[in-house]
Amino acid sequence: MEGHRIYIYGIVRDAADGGPAPVPPVAGLDGGALRAIAGYGLAAIASAVDLSKAGIPFEEQLKDPDRATALVLEHHRVLQQAIDAQTVLPMRFGALFQDDRGVTDALEKNRCGLMDALGRIDGAREWGVKIFCDRAVAARQLSATSAVVQAAEKELSGLAEGRAFFLRRRLERLRTEETDRAVAHEVDVSRQALCELARASAPLKLQPAAVHGRGEDMVWNGAFLVPRSGEERFLSRLEVVVQSRSDLGLHYEVTGPWPPFSFVDGQLEGGGDACPDGA
């Protein structure tokens, strides 16, 4: 159709029975009907998009933060529905193609890489884990358990005020160093415990308080690729980890399941129109 392009949400394996690959029972961007474009043993979950909605070019629409956010959320909503039924290789926001032929050409060109990626994530979904630390609680715990800190505190208690001033400053530095070391160790132990039940893990950027909105520091942010059959065990293991480390001032936040964005490239090369990346 004139003024329309094909928008791609994700890639799946084509239906084994020769029929069309299933698509989620929801509308796509701007209410467009979802369909599968098949080729070379693969299928792209797609819909048509109007490049000039209300006379405004698509690229210009994306300069409006509210409009761009709405489109990105629609993109993720489609993928969230799709992963309930099958393994989906998610595409990053903005994969536009001229027509169906452009899509199938890209599937052919990238077939080996797409098949490999689908194999890596087959039957698995992404779970996010954030770890936060209340450093005041952690420092108090270290004062009660760290032999190094306790020795410095004992030395401080027996000094005259003049000398105590300098040792007090050294003690504060020591507490900070010991707290950081202990927190890093416990974070690594937590991560390793979860990795045992995941196919893969990926570190993500730490978020500032302005983003995560909590009073504690974020000390780790990551994603785990967890087989569907092992999700219950993974979440049970996480609960054990949470309970065993609450006295240390560590708090955990889990999100998911998500499409496995952290474990794939999310791009389909060949034949596509460049589109500003909103995700």
- Start-to-end CA distance of the chain, whole Å, equals 27
Is the same domain home to 97 and 138?
A: no
Is the same domain home to 44 and 164?
A: no
* pLDDT the model gives residue 64: 86
105 within some domain: yes
Total domain count, the chain: 2
Q: How far apart are CA 207 and CA 203, in angstroms?
A: 12
Is the same domain home to 111 and 21?
A: yes
Is the same domain home to 60 and 18?
A: yes
The number of beta carbons lying within 10 Å of the beta carbon of residue 136 is: 11
Give residue-wise pLDDT tens across range 111-158. Answer: 999 999 999 999 999 999 999 999 888 877 776 666 565 565 565 565
* pLDDT at residue 93 greater than cutoff 50: yes
Is the same domain home to 141 and 111?
A: no
271 within some domain: no
The number of residues in the chain equals 279
Strand-pairing partners, residue 127, are: 224
Q: How far apart are CA 209 and CA 73, in angstroms?
A: 23
Is the same domain home to 245 and 130?
A: yes
13 within some domain: yes
Is the same domain home to 76 and 151?
A: no
Is the same domain home to 149 and 251?
A: yes
269 within some domain: no
Is the same domain home to 161 and 112?
A: no
Q: How far apart are CA 100 and CA 5, in angstroms?
A: 9
212 within some domain: yes
Least confident among 81-90, 101-110, 175-184, 193-202: 175-184
267 within some domain: no
β-bridge pairing 89-97 and 124-133? unpaired
* pLDDT the model gives residue 230: 97
The pTM is what?
A: 0.82
* pLDDT the model gives residue 173: 76
* pLDDT at residue 274 greater than cutoff 60: no
Is the same domain home to 134 and 108?
A: no
Is the same domain home to 116 and 98?
A: yes
Percentages helix, strand, coil for the chain (3-state, rounded to 5) are 50, 25, 30
270 within some domain: no
* pLDDT the model gives residue 135: 85
Is the same domain home to 135 and 254?
A: yes
* pLDDT the model gives residue 188: 94
List the domain range (segments joined by +) for residue 19.
4-122
Give residue-wise pLDDT tens across range 24-81. Answer: 889 999 899 999 999 999 999 999 988 776 567 777 778 889 988 999 999 999 999 9
